[in-house]
Amino acid sequence: MAPKGTDLGIQLEAGEIDALISADVPRCVLKGSPKVRRLFPNYEAVERDCYRRTGIFPIMHAVVVTCELAEREPDIVRAIYRGFCSAKAAMAEELEHGMTFNNMAVMVPWLTGLLARDRELLGADWWPYGMAANRAAIDAVLRYHHEQGLTHRCFTVEEIFVPYLLDT
């Protein structure tokens, strides 16, 4: 394990690590270093095809609280969930509004067209919150965990999520 604060992109470019899986693109890739490359140069086409075949768009983040807090303070857990939903809705509204004005606030050429293509494939909510919309992805993660030996058995969604948020 790399020490806290280590820039894995620097290690990758230096040859200290052989590969990196990350949601963030390392700076060396963005700068076009000849020492590194993507595993799939056509990663966007590969990812879009995977979504078309599976209906799963990988979850980017999960919010976790301890079992003790979830049992002791269910209203706090619900409030956290609602807070994240409200923040996402506000950002989505801003992004959609920006499509009308070519998203000039972020100054990315053709961003509106990309967003339109994403919405065509993924729907309006490509990072859905809640259990119902993420059930297939979470089931897959739990299955992968077991198949790869990370868990001694295949857990179910009902075992790892609080019951009062299963219907979200």
**Is residue 120 assigned to a domain?**
yes
Q: How much of the chain is helix, strand and coil, in % rounded to 5? A: 55, 0, 45
Q: What percent of the chain lies above the pLDDT cut of 70?
A: 100
How do residues 103-126 score in pLDDT, each as one tens digit?
778 888 888 889 999 999 999 888
**Is residue 43 assigned to a domain?**
no
Residue 108 has what pLDDT?
A: 85
Q: Which domain holds residue 160?
A: 73-165
d(CA 92, CA 86): 10
> What is the band of 97 on the pLDDT scale with cuts at 50, 70, 90?
confident
* Token pair belonging to 12: 């990758």
Classify the phi-psi angles of 119: left when phi > 0, otherwise alpha if psi is within -120 to 50, otherwise beta: alpha
**Is residue 141 assigned to a domain?**
yes
**Is residue 119 assigned to a domain?**
yes
Residue 41 has what pLDDT?
A: 93
C-beta atoms surrounding 89 within 10 Å: 12
Contact of 9 with 29, CB cutoff 8 Å: yes
**Is residue 126 assigned to a domain?**
yes
Nearest to 128 by CA among 43, 58, 46, 24: 58
Domains: count for the chain: 1
pTM: 0.78
- Residues 20-44, mean pLDDT to the nearest whole number: 94
> What is the band of 83 on the pLDDT scale with cuts at 50, 70, 90?
very high
